Structure 1
Amino acid sequence: MGAKSDRKRNYIIEKSRNVFARKGFKNVTMKDLVEECNISRGGLYLHFSSTEQIFMAVLSSLVKKDSDAAIEQALMGNASASDMLVLFLNEQKKEILCRDNNLGLAIYEYCASHSLIPKNNLIKKSFDTSVGIIEGLIDDGVRDGEFVCEDAHSKAVSICYILEGLRYLSDTVGLTEENFDSEINYILAGLAPVGVVSN
């Protein structure tokens, strides 16, 4: 593909994310995506053959952005592990509480309609990327004396489960910023050395 074709494909992915965020996964049609992208049906089919293929491209772009942002932050190296963990959790909060761009409903609908999801799917990769980021930050924090944790991997998995639960609550019953902050404080308190109070 040439540069122009790549730009068009990326444009379709960006615009399609908005549709999936608004309508979920199961209610999105190729017609919806054609209208959102303001392109011809043939123009859309030149790049993608189905809504599922576009949804996978949207998820793939998000996984790449998450890992790129994490790598960029890690390379800066001037923030403490606890500062980096708070930054990561606050980024998650923005994504989860932002109703306009939240793909939670679409992801749940996609998973529900695909009972045999392969282990290497993009949703699992995104989850595993988050676990890896958090685990690395916990390990760094333990090494620097900021955190106390005997099993960084299990703790990171538990934190990701909490985040997924918060994402689900946000999509179904609603979630306030105060609710989210309370959970972040709970997470941080569970990592703090004895006698250190998290704020």
Structure 2
Amino acid sequence: MGEKADHKKKHILDKARVVFSEKGFKNVTMKDIVDACEISRGGLYLYFSSTEELFLAVLADTHEDDDDEAIAAALAGDASAGDMLALFLKEQKKEILRKKNNLTVAIYEYYFVNKVTDKDNFLKGQFDTAVRIVEKLIENGVETGEFCCENPFGCARNLMYVVEGLKVMSKTIGITEEAIDKELMYVLEGLVPED
């Protein structure tokens, strides 16, 4: 693909992300994308043959980072494990509370409707990466005496289950920022060594 074609594809992906964020997955048509991109139907079909193909490309474009790079970035720097974990959770909280350009509803709609293999499961990959990041942060905190945890993997997995549950609640019944803080702090209190 040439530079102009790459630019056009990126434009389509950016506009499609907004449309999927606003309408979910199941309510989006190719016409919606054509209208948002202000291109011809044929222009869109040069790049994508269906809303599903386009949605999967949006997901891939959204999370291009390599898992190992994400883990390394989370562990880099001079900050303590507690500070890094707090920063990670702050980013998760932003995602939970994000109103615009949030693909959570579209992602869950897609996965409820489609049978996806573990190999192709974006949501599982995203979850597993987050668990590995948190597990490494907890392990570092245990090594420095900042945390007390006999099962860093189990604790990390539990924390990410809580985060995913909060994401679903924020999009269905709603949740306050204070409630999010309370749930995350409840999990973190279990890591702090007793005096």
Global fold match (TM > 0.5) = yes
Q: 4+ residue stretches of structure 1 with deviation over 6 A? A: none
Separation in 1, partners of 2:62, 2:33? 18
* Residue of structure 2 in register with 1:138 after alignment: 138
Counterparts of 1:1-199 in structure 2, within 5 Å, are 1-65=1-65, 67=67, 71-75=72-76, 77-114=77-114, 116-120=115-119, 121-195=121-195
Change (3 A) 1:131 1:101: same
Write the deviation string for residues 160-194 of structure 1: whole angstroms up to 9, x where unpaired. Answer: 11011000000001111111111121121111111
TM-score (norm 2): 0.91
Change (3 A) 1:43 1:71: farther
Task: Tell me the distance in 1 between the aligned counterparts of 2:13 and 2:75.
Answer: 27
Query: In the TM superposition, what is the alpha-carbon distance from 1:7 to its structure 2 partner?
Result: 2.2
TM-score by length of 1: 0.90
Contact 1:63 1:125 in 2 (8 A): no
Deviation at 1:73, TM superposition (A): 4.4
Q: Mark the runs of 5 or more structure 2 residues left unpaired by the alignment.
A: none
Q: Give, as a single letter, the amino acid of the residue that structure 1 aligns with 2:30.
A: M
| Aligned equivalents of 1:81, 1:43: Cα separation in 2 | 49
Aligned length: 193
| Mapped contact 1:59–1:123 kept (Cα < 8 A) | no
Indicate how the Cα distance of structure 1 residues 71 and 30 shifts in structure 2: closer, same or farther if over 3 A, else same: farther
Question: Given that residues 74 and 133 in structure 2 are in contact (C-alpha distance below 8 angstroms), is that contact kept between their aligned partners in structure 1?
Answer: no
